[in-house]
Structures are given as C-alpha cells and as structure tokens.
Amino acid sequence: MGKKTKILFVTRNFSRAWGGFEEHVFRLFTMVRKYDFETRIITTDIIEHPKISGMKVLKSLGLFGYCYTPELSKFIIKEDPDIIHIHGWGSYVIERSITLGRYLEIPVILTPHEFFHRENIIKRLYTSINKRTLLKIPDIVIALTEHQKMEIKNYVRKSIVIPNGINVEEFKNMRFRNLEYVISVGRLEKYKGFDLILEVCKELNKKVVIVGRKTKYYWELIRKIKKDNINAEIYPDANRKALLRLLEGASLYICASKKEGFGISIIEALASGLPIISTPVGIAPELPNDFVRIFKSKTELYEMIKEMGNKKKKIFQKARQYAFQNFSWDNIIKKYIDVYRHLIR
C-alpha cells in the first residue's frame, strides 16, 4: 500500500460540532479519511474538548485571534503535509499558514466561511488590506455561496463554490407535524436578531421556540420574554435529538441574523420541511422562492409570517427533497475529494 495523501486542516475554532463553521470542519476532517486520506488538524481555540486522533492544540499569545502562535510554523514543517486546507479569516494562525504554505511550496486551499468582517472599522480595515494580498496566495479559495464567490472574484487566483452540508440520515424519518410554533436556531447572540422575532411574533400571537448555544445574551432574552409577556421558550445547548424534534414540530423557520457565512440552520430547516423567512444572509437568497422568503424590515417580516405561516403542508416533501439532493454531505464530500486529488496530480 502506498503512502496516503496527508491533508493538514488549520482553523482557529474547532469543536465536536455545534454551529455551521465547526460542523463543517469536523465533517471534513473525519469524512475524508474514508477516501484513503490521512488527516491532521491544528487549532488554537477548543470550544469543547474532543478526544480526536490527529488533532493538535497550539497555544497562542495575544487577544481575539490576532496573536502569535509560537509552535505553528514548526508543527507544519514537521507534519510535512501534501495539502494545507485552511478554514477561517482574520487571525495569525490563518495568515501564517497561508504564507508558510507558499514558502514550502505546499498546495493551499482557503475556505474563509464568514469572509468579509463588517462588525467594526478595525475588522473592515483588516479585510480591505489583506484581501489584496493574502487571497492571491491559495491555489483555490472555496466559497460557500455564489454571493461569496462574487465578492472575492477580483482578488483570487481561482475560486469555486462548495456549500455546507447536512447529514441526510438525521432527517429522512421525519414525519409531518405542525404544533403551530415558529422556530429559530443559532448561537444566542444579539446579531442573530432573536429580539426582532420575539417582538413580531408577539404582535401576531405566535409562539416562538429558540434553540442555541448559551451565552450571556440568553439572560437578556429571558428578561425580555418575561417583561413583555411573550409566548416563547428557549432551549440553550439542546442536544441534537432535541433540536431535530423541535424542528419537526415547527410550522415556520425564521432567520433574522445580520450576518451568516452560510447559515446551516436554514438548510436543516429546509430538510425538516419548513417554510423559511430570512434576512438576505448566507445561502438564503440563493434558495428557491417557493421555500424561502427574504425580508429587510420589521414590516416585511410581519407580512411574510402571515403569508408563509400555513405553507408547511404544501411544501413539506418538496423542500425536503431539494435539501437532500443539493446539500447532502455524502455528495458534498465528493466535491472536496475531487479538489484534493486535482491539487496532488
């Protein structure tokens, strides 16, 4: 048996998969092994503490990812990978891995996920400067959506679109249920727009279910629900089985987020047969209008909830079929394998 091709994944964040970014990296890291590849992963920020073979956690000196990671270069040189696949944007570990890959003449793939930071002027300046230099180095930049690809087309050598994926087996046995509540899923952060969903659904007398990773913002939402007497339930850190059960029983999915790299929860809602209302973020604007409506104001959200709230039965099977055909990890992983094999020919 010949030597296996070694892929070194580099990411600032890693966990045993909660959230689109971490789930994406976790799936790739584990699934490509089935195709006779050897995988390693470098990370500097463990969200959880997984025991996974081939993972190396490096210490960083600094704040918020913009820091020095002393062991990084030494570790990459020692590993001597055939391909470096980098995930993320805006940290030392990402920048150094890109430039070191070029220096060592190792093929480099970059998947930025949330590509352009817009939260504050410092991050916008960072991206404005580095997109003109760093983005020209990777052999391939992988965008998660067509919109991302368009944003970077003038700065990269080559770009392709490979979307995020879902485990279809988790959704196949779902049956049609409608317990008449609106659901939204995501980290419990202010930018996710949960407060807007609560306000509009209160006006429409709709029950709201929110599922997401618990943060300090959780307590703000709890206070708002109690103060305004809103019919809502929050499930912080719900396990996977509970999340799927809650998706199955919902009548409508709402994403009110101000930013998303891809928005995997939108695809999971689609795979659950739910009509979807979303801000123009991530993959949402690229999905069929039969299943997804895009809103840009509170008034539009109000009207769309009235329009889409009773459509689950009509779209249930078609929405699921569309999600299974276009976002199955079994199909998406093959696209990555094609990219890896192309780079080592």
Q: How high is the mean pLDDT of the chain?
A: 90
Q: Taking 50 as the threshold, does the pLDDT of residue 201 lie above it?
A: yes
Percentage, residues of the chain above pLDDT 70: 90
Q: Taking 80 as the threshold, does the pLDDT of residue 146 lie above it?
A: yes
- Residue among 26, 17, 24 at smallest CA distance from 263: 24
Q: Taking 80 as the threshold, does the pLDDT of residue 50 lie above it?
A: no
pLDDT score of 65? 47
pLDDT score of 24? 87
pLDDT score of 61? 64
Q: Which residue has the higher pLDDT, 245 or 52?
A: 245
Q: How confident is the model at residue 114 (pLDDT cuts 50, 70, 90)?
A: confident
Q: Taking 90 as the threshold, does the pLDDT of residue 253 lie above it?
A: yes
Q: Taking 70 as the threshold, does the pLDDT of residue 215 lie above it?
A: yes
Rounded to whole angstroms, how far apart are CA atoms 176 and 182? Answer: 15
pTM: 0.91
Q: Taking 90 as the threshold, does the pLDDT of residue 291 lie above it?
A: yes
Ramachandran angles phi, psi of 192, nearest 5°: -75, -15
CATH of domain 5-165+328-343: 3.40.50.2000
Residues 87, 83, 68: CA angle, nearest 5 degrees: 50
Q: Where are the domains of the chain?
A: 5-165+328-343, 168-326
Average pLDDT over residues 35-40: 91
Q: How confident is the model at residue 176 (pLDDT cuts 50, 70, 90)?
A: very high
CA within 13 Å, CB half, 182: 31
Average pLDDT over residues 39-55: 72
Signed CA dihedral, 114, 120, 123, 126: sign only: positive
**16 CB burial (10 A radius; 0-12, 13-18, 19+):** middle
Q: Which residue has the higher pLDDT, 31 or 122?
A: 31
- Do 168-326 and 5-165+328-343 fall under one CATH topology? yes
CB atoms within 10 A of CB 46: 13
Q: How confident is the model at residue 175 (pLDDT cuts 50, 70, 90)?
A: very high
Whether residue 251 contacts residue 181, with contact meaning beta carbons closer than 8 Å, is answered with: yes
pLDDT score of 23? 81
Q: How confident is the model at residue 138 (pLDDT cuts 50, 70, 90)?
A: very high
Q: Taking 80 as the threshold, does the pLDDT of residue 277 lie above it?
A: yes
pLDDT score of 118? 55
Average pLDDT over residues 149-169: 93
pLDDT score of 45? 66
Alpha helices (runs of H) in 216-261, residue ranges in sequence order: 217-227, 240-249
Stretch among 27-31, 128-132, 264-268 having the lowest mean pLDDT: 128-132
Average pLDDT over residues 84-103: 91
Average pLDDT over residues 315-341: 97
- Residue among 19, 67, 13, 3 at smallest CA distance from 282: 19
Q: 168-326: which CATH topology?
A: Rossmann fold (3.40.50)
